[in-house]
Amino acid sequence: MAKSPEFYIRELTAYPVGGRRVWLLFIAILANFIASYEAQISPVVPLLLKELGMPLSQYGLIAAISVIAAAVSALIFGPLADRYGRVRFLIPSLFLTALSVYAMVFVKSAATLLIVRIVLAFIEGIAISTTAGLVRDFSPRMGRALAFGFWTFGPVGSNFFANALAGWTLPVFHAWQSQFIIQGTIAMISAIIVLFNVADLSPRLRARIITSTEQAALVNEEIKQTPTVHQQLKMGEITHVPRIWTLSIGISLFLIIYLTIQSFATVLLVQGFGYETSQAATIAKYFWLLNLLTLVVAGWISDRLRLRKIVTFIGAVLAVIYMMFFATLVGTDVSEGRMIIYTSLLGGLLGIAYAPWMAMYSENAEDIKAALQSAAWGLYGFVIRIVGVIVVLILPVVVEAAGWGAWMWIGAVTGALYVPLIFTARGPWFQKIDKNQINVYSQVNKS
């Protein structure tokens, strides 16, 4: 391992295999979970708006500005992480964000809320490009979709965890500030764990495409015998390729309902269906629970078949049809048990489309230039956050004018726009898999 001025940076000069690779992959996923969990605010938004006397439209504006800060951060730090290493930027961001979460306790006005959320979002924006880069680094292509399915435990798992925790603790503590004390403490402890366990691949290893763990031994031997060559890494090599844009924009439009649930789940359930805040938080967690399950299952199927496009296509079509059905439910009298089923199915169908998309996007970016993986994910982070800005700006206006049902219909229409953009990606739709290939895959997974 190469030495670094920062004590926490461990740079690997040989590609890790076996349990070591799996552990490093877990640490990257944990880091993403921490960064995503630190940004959670949705479960307490109704209570926060009530105490601050803030209309939903004003909160939407604050959220939009903070999302812009995160978008800019992702675009800046993605290329820097490719050039100087992921960990160098990831570790400081985890601790700084935890401190920003504690600062939420002292929010007393719209102005202080704006300041804290901007700082928190800018720091948190580093995570999506750095941790996505680490997941790619430690997941050969034969297990890429499954690895990214677990990586999504960050944004998705943290939503489930935050809603579940709010459902359990809000009836006990009542105050919304309690959630940020809990969040900050959990995040700080977890950041310390990541600090002493995370590692980076060397620049030469990051520049290689690893198809299977069996291939890693050959790559390690080859690197030992070849001199170091410093690559010129330019963001333009990614941004000048149209399919990177179409895939980023397409999935971001598809995820408008996901972004809505992420930021406004409890508000939607309180205002659109008449549930209490703690009830709404409990119901919302089931959206994330089934979403987590389908992300892993769809990722596994995508890896097993070695097909990304057809799996995400089927998931997207089913999800869009279901979004239209869900839109018809808004404003009707739905029991809590039925709503748990309805929200679970919505989250599950979104997961089927998203897991294979992540592997497809990573591999399309890798084919352009393997060393620019964080730059590609930084671009995606920028695009989805810009779409997130549009959501938080337009949603309150639409909801106040036409209700939550109208917004859900908009989400279904934008989701449908993703389907034709799948055809811009490179990769097979169908292919014949022989028994030998399946056996090799199983042996690779065991390693």
Residues 6 or more apart whose Cβ sits within 8 Å of residue 53: none
Average pLDDT over residues 236-249: 91
Residues 6 or more apart whose Cβ sits within 8 Å of residue 437: 306
Confidence tier at 242 by pLDDT (50, 70, 90): very high
Confidence tier at 4 by pLDDT (50, 70, 90): low
User: Distance between CA 277 and CA 81 in Å, rounded?
Assistant: 40
Query: From the DSSP assignment, how many helices (H) and strands (E) are in the chain?
Result: 20, 2
pLDDT at 249: 95
Strands (E), 334-418: none
pLDDT at 434: 43
Q: What is the pTM of this model?
A: 0.79
Average pLDDT, the chain: 83
Q: Are 81 and 129 in contact (CB under 8 A)?
A: yes
pLDDT over 80 at 8, yes or no: no
Q: Please report the DSSP string for 20-81 in residue order.
A: HHHHHHHHHHHHHHHHHHHT--GGGHHHHHHHHT--HHHHHHHHHHHHHHHHHHHHHHHHHH
Confidence tier at 427 by pLDDT (50, 70, 90): confident
Bridge partners, residue 173, by sequence: none
> 102-151: per-residue pLDDT in tens?
888 888 888 888 888 888 888 888 877 788 888 888 888 778 888 888 88
Q: Are 243 and 405 in contact (CB under 8 A)?
A: no
pLDDT at 444: 36
Confidence tier at 175 by pLDDT (50, 70, 90): confident
> 342-376: per-residue pLDDT in tens?
999 999 999 999 999 999 999 999 888 888 888 88
Report the alpha-carbon angle 67-353-74, nearest 5: 25
Torsion of CA 435, 438, 439, 441, to 10 degrees: 160
pLDDT at 1: 46
pLDDT over 90 at 422, yes or no: yes
> 63-87: per-residue pLDDT in tens?
888 888 888 888 888 888 888 888 8
User: Distance between CA 169 and CA 349 in Å, rounded?
Assistant: 29
Q: Which domains does the chain have, with CATH numbers?
A: 16-219+233-441 (1.20.1250.20)
More confident residue, 86 or 229: 86
